[in-house]
Amino acid sequence: MAGNPDCGKDNHKMHICALKADGFDKQNPDEFRALIADPQYKCQKCGAQAKNRENLCEPVKL
């Protein structure tokens, strides 16, 4: 699976690392920026940061 092959979550395609692997950050820079603005959580796997834990594989509170 894109981004993080170990992540088996149903919504992995909405995770920051998968979105980046798909080029979503390039195609939809404004939407992507909204997801990572004012980050509250960090992915323990890839280090990506996001506002919502739903957008990370292994979220830990920042």
Point out which residues bind Zn ion (CB under 5 A).
4, 7, 12, 15, 17, 43, 45-46, 57
DSSP letter at 8 equals -
Minimum distance from residue 43 beta carbon to Zn ion (Å): 4
> Tokens 């170990």 identify what position?
6
Nearer to Zn ion, 8 or 30 (CB): 8
Phi, psi of 19 (to 5 degrees): -60, -40
Nearer to Zn ion, 12 or 49 (CB): 12
Alpha carbon distance, N-terminus to C-terminus of the chain: 26
- Closest residue to Zn ion, based on beta-carbon distance: 7
Nearer to Zn ion, 11 or 28 (CB): 11
SS3 7: coil
